[in-house]
């Protein structure tokens, strides 16, 4: 254990359910601390674990892991159901990198970003070409069971499968600081359909009688063995699968563009198997000897001890980690660096000149439209990693050389 984490985790006093935090209490914004207390006081909460990248969220804190008995709060997953990351190592090295502006343009043409979408859905034929498992027809059969309000969005959802969206979502090329190997990394979620599904269920939960006297109605829950719970669990699992498939498609598109870029230079590129994991999701897990409903909102699972990606901000890079399955954290770790200021505050605080300085050496957008994603708006990724040295083992530190943003 490092000196930085020697006194972690800390306990948040005065809560009904135990709260353990992998960062000093004084580093948590007051509004987020109050939000954590409100969550821990819900009668269904068995325990709350707080990751070192935590910050204020809608209803539930980003960077929170909540174990509940017989209940689930849709706000504890969030509106970007299944949001997560993927990573893929290539056999390229730093010395192979050239003409990254042309590569960025090709990636931006291949993967729709922001509010854009594919002109037509990606079918099984294209999936096979991209090296992605087929079976989309069977997956889409489940769409008919989703809430009636979203059924008219199927055509849009099909076109948005395999698209990045905006905000903090990205596609990057990074270089491993140890061996100069080049990695592809990606951050994306369930796009508009995930948001629509989440909002339907959050509104339904708010209207239930047992939630009427909650301190924060955004934390409204569904109870086990009720139609509301069954419907939510079914729909959130569908959205999680949508997000995972979407990342797999984009990894395939990125792999194709990278291969094409270097094939034009006489270089064949080899790729390892990809990493693909959620950090906004629900699962049933054994906690303290009981099966409970666990929600992670801005947190990854380390239960299987596999590899995962913990990204920083635009231009800062990421860490490839191996999970240590620490039961004290409900086998969880942070999902990234975490914001230290809101998007509005970032736009007020920084200028384009700041963006140019903080992304020097990175092939990326340098315009005012991405100032809210400037590295200075985020926490120090390296400090976040030090705080969770008992949760994950760093395998590689990746430095960003190319970043595509929505």
The kind and range of the H/E element at 197 are helix 191-206
Domain ranges in the chain are 3-340+378-405
Number of H helices, E strands in the chain: 10, 17
335 is an active site residue? yes
Mean pLDDT by 10 residues, the chain (406 residues): 70 96 96 97 97 95 98 97 97 97 97 95 86 78 95 96 95 96 98 97 96 94 96 97 95 97 97 95 96 97 93 91 97 96 95 96 95 95 96 97 93
> Which one from 261, 278, 279, 335 is the annotated catalytic residue?
335
Per-residue confidence (pLDDT) for residue 5, from 0 to 100 = 61
Backbone phi, psi, residue 48, to 5° = -130, 130
Please give the radius of gyration of the chain, using alpha carbons only, rounded to the nearest integer: 21
| b/e per residue 260-292 (b: at least 16 CB within 10 A) | ebbeeeeeebebeebbbbbbbbbeeeebeeeeb
| Omega of the bond leading into 124 within 30 degrees of 0 (cis) | no
Query: Average per-residue pLDDT in the chain?
Result: 95
Q: 92 exposed, middle or buried (CB, 10 Å; 0-12, 13-18, 19+)?
A: buried
Per-residue confidence (pLDDT) for residue 1, from 0 to 100 = 45
What is the assigned CATH class of domain 3-340+378-405?
alpha beta
- Per DSSP, what are the bridge partners of residue 271? 90
Per-residue confidence (pLDDT) for residue 6, from 0 to 100 = 62
Full-model pTM: 0.95
Token pair of 78, please? 């969030």
């Amino acid at each position: 254990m490092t000196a930085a984490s020697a006194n972690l985790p800390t306990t948040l006093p005065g809560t009904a359910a135990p709260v353990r935090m992998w960062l000093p209490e004084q580093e948590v914004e007051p509004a987020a601390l109050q939000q954590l207390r409100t969550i821990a006081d819900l009668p269904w909460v068995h325990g709350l674990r707080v990751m070192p990248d935590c910050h204020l969220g809608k209803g539930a804190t980003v960077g929170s892991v909540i174990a509940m008995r017989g209940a689930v709060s849709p706000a504890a997953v969030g509106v970007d159901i299944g949001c997560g990351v993927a990573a893929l190592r290539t056999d390229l090295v730093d010395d192979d990198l050239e003409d990254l502006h042309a590569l960025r343009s090709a990636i931006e043409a291949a993967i729709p970003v922001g509010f854009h979408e594919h002109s037509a859905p990606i079918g099984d034929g294209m999936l096979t070409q991209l090296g992605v498992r087929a079976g989309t027809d069977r997956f889409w059969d489940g769409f008919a069971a989703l809430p009636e309000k979203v059924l008219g969005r199927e055509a849009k959802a099909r076109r948005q499968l395999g698209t990045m969206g905006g905000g903090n979502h990205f596609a990057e090329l990074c270089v491993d600081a140890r061996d100069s190997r080049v990695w592809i990394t990606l951050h994306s979620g369930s796009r508009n359909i995930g948001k629509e599904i989440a909002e339907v269920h959050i509104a339904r939960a708010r209207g239930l009688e047992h939630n009427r006297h909650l301190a924060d109605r955004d934390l409204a829950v569904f109870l086990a063995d009720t139609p509301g719970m069954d419907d939510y669990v079914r729909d959130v699992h569908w959205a999680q699968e949508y997000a995972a498939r979407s990342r797999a498609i984009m990894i395939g598109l990125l792999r194709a563009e990278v291969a094409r870029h270097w094939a034009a230079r006489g270089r064949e590129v080899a790729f390892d198997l990809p990493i693909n994991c959620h950090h906004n999701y629900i699962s049933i897990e054994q906690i303290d000897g009981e099966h409970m409903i666990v929600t992670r909102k801005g947190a990854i699972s380390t239960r299987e001890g596999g590899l995962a990606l913990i990204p920083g901000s635009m231009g800062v890079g990421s860490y490839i980690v191996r999970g240590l399955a620490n039961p004290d954290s409900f086998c969880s770790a942070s999902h990234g660096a975490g914001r230290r200021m809101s998007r509005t505050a970032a736009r007020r605080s920084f200028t384009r000149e700041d963006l140019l300085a903080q992304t020097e050496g990175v092939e990326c957008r340098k315009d005012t439209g991405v100032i809210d994603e400037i590295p200075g708006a985020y926490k120090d990724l390296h400090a976040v990693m030090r705080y969770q040295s008992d949760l994950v083992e760093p395998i590689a530190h990746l430095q960003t050389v190319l970043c595509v943003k929505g």
